[in-house]
Amino acid sequence: MMLPLRVMLIADDPLVRTGLAALLSDGSDCMVVGQMASDANVVAEAEVYRPDIVLWDMGWEPVDVARLECLADLRDHGIHSVVLLPDAGTGTEAWQVGARGLLLRQVEVDRLVSALRAVEQGLVVWDEAVAMPMVTATADALPGADILTPREHEVLTLLAEGLPNKIVADRLHISEHTVKFHVNAIMGKLGAQSRTEAVVLATRRGLILL
């Protein structure tokens, strides 16, 4: 018998949290183990609740940097996440920092549960409407250096020198947490699995010179 999937819910609207919890608990094989708003320490909460997966409703507003940083932190701690997006054009940044499931907010509950299960098992799930803008954006970005922001380029250049996050943060007068966020974004944009691979790929594309 398959064990219930332990899901931790994140949503700023308490009514959305309540609604999602009810949907997932009603006849599905999911068990909601924790609920919180996005301003919580989501990694610390995940360590308490020990979910199999995180379901994060992004609401109707644009996805902001703070929530993207939290997604990156979850990925760094080995916690898979599925994100509910407001529209089809907002998935790229969430994907780059670690979300492995990208669905629109109006997804049907059966598809949502299937996506949660698939991502928990190591698969990637994109809603069809979300996938096309992402593929197009990635294809447009690959040839040129403009796939990286100026700050990401600065961070990448210092990574190429073999500097740790703390030194990079000191050099750029930003926090280590922000450096970590930029590193995750760089890896996502370049399709790299490590810092070293990101430097190698960037060098091959002429984004940096060693």
Q: Domain count of the chain?
A: 2
The per-residue pLDDT for 33 is 94
Confidence at 56, pLDDT banded by 50, 70, 90? very high
Do both 130 and 150 map to the same domain?
A: no
27-31, 36-40, 47-51, 123-127: which range is least confident on average?
27-31
Task: Give, in order, the Cα–Cα distances in Å from 82 to each of 49, 90, 102, 112, 197.
Answer: 17, 14, 6, 9, 26
The whole-model pTM stands at 0.67
Q: For 21-34, how does the pLDDT look when each residue is reduced to its tens digit (9 = 90+)? A: 999 987 678 999 99
Domain boundary among 84, 117, 137: 137
Domain boundary among 137, 160, 178: 137
The per-residue pLDDT for 142 is 47
Whole-number Å distance between alpha carbons of 148 and 205: 12
Q: What is the DSSP letter of 62?
A: P
Instruction: Report the percent of the chain where pLDDT is more than 70.
Output: 90
Whole-number Å distance between alpha carbons of 204 and 66: 31
